[in-house]
Structure 1
Amino acid sequence: MPVLAGAEPFAHQGSDEVGVLLCHGFTGSPQSMRPWGEHLAAEGFTVSCPRLPGHGTTWQEMNRTRWPEWYGRVEEEFLGLTRRCASVFVFGLSMGGTLTLRLAQRHGAAVAGIALVNPSVTSLRREMVVLPVLSRLVPSVAPIGGAIAKPGVRELAYPRTPLRALASLRELWGLVRADLDRVTQPLALFHSVVDSVVEPVNSRIVLDGVRSTDVTEVVLPNSDHVATLDHDAPTIFAGSVEFVRRVHRERLGEPA
């Protein structure tokens, strides 16, 4: 299946001290993470952003994939980074945040720290209640991608939302919420004041549920859901670099 131009995965080989895995969102692609990845690479970190199965091609193909395939791809990349780097951090946007939390739950201290941008772990939309049935009757609905406040900036995302894939994401949400207390790693959470895709309750559920003692919460006042491409992107980029450098020093026992 041909990959859309701009949706390709990317990687940068930098320091063997710090590696960062970037996880993009539902119906999106690595394009939404590329500026963040370029910033991290310029700081000397090793960076990897895989393209999740079913993403960056067609929504019809995505409807044939399920969350274990998406998780399996990021886990494979994570394990590869652990073989090359002393400290491996995982950063995720939206559903990428869901996958990041699952990695943290499953791999414990092997994950040095996590950064989440508008992570999703639930939805308050009424139609989500009937999604398991609806997804067997209707293949897709209107798109959810492209929620960016900054004029002239576009996310490369599908023109339709594949419902069978969305139903699978809903299953992953339940697993991640149930295991939030297994997340103990240092956490940086960036969330938008106005998010037209993921309700604010998602970030509150995460913050209330994890057992991390090192938690940094950053509110993004000028961005919509895809904040990595929006007005507050520089805040995310700079804050995540500061977070990585501090946590890595602490892991090495070095003074702040």
Structure 2
Amino acid sequence: MTSPTTSDVDVVLPCLNEADALPWVLGRIPHGWRALVVDNGSTDGSAELARELGALVVHEPRRGFGAACHAGLTAATADVVCFCDCDASLDPSLLSPFVREVSGGAADLVLGRRRPQGRGAWPAHARVGNLALARMLRRRTGLCLHDLGPLRAARRQALLDLRLTDRRSGYPLEMVVRAADAGWRITEHDVPYLPRTGASKVTGTWRGTWQAVRDMRRVLAEPTTSSAGGGVPR
């Protein structure tokens, strides 16, 4: 199978004050792919640096992880869109097999299961919250998934057809829930999870983790959605 070209893959990178991590993250984007750095109100020059490093910068003034991710999705033009955190905790070069799986028709949504590398890579409270949500997700959808990590790949139009509405921490979970309701083939692969660069905006504190869990529990409480408008990607 040939490697995807520039027009095939966009990588959405939600960004809030990640100037220290950006050079490494953007340097790990596979050759020929396009990086979309979604600036969510940075005050450390992240947007300017990302532009200097060759990324397309999208500005999303409304704060929220989901708001940044969805702004990147709507700005993307590639057939396949990937998502990755912009804090150097995940290596975007690991998305290459994800994209091959989606492009080759073996899966509709590919997720990275985070495997912490070294002390401090994944705080205990964040890991416990993620585990609880994964169990609730299994009960809600029947999917045997272990993580709700941000490293993922799917086809752009199919993602737009899911009509995602959450603009906070529940966005990644809503994507999986609605994809499951629509009958998507969802796979999960282990990826190394590194200590992030800089301070976490969500799971670095108990308060941030609780807010994320609350957002995601709200998503899980929503009724099963119809596959209309968000069916299996073709």
Please report the TM-score for the alignment, with normalisation by the length of structure 2.
0.38
Structure with higher helix content = 1
- Greater relative contact order: 1 or 2 (C-alpha under 8 angstroms, separation 6 or more)? 2
Structure 1 length-normalised TM: 0.35
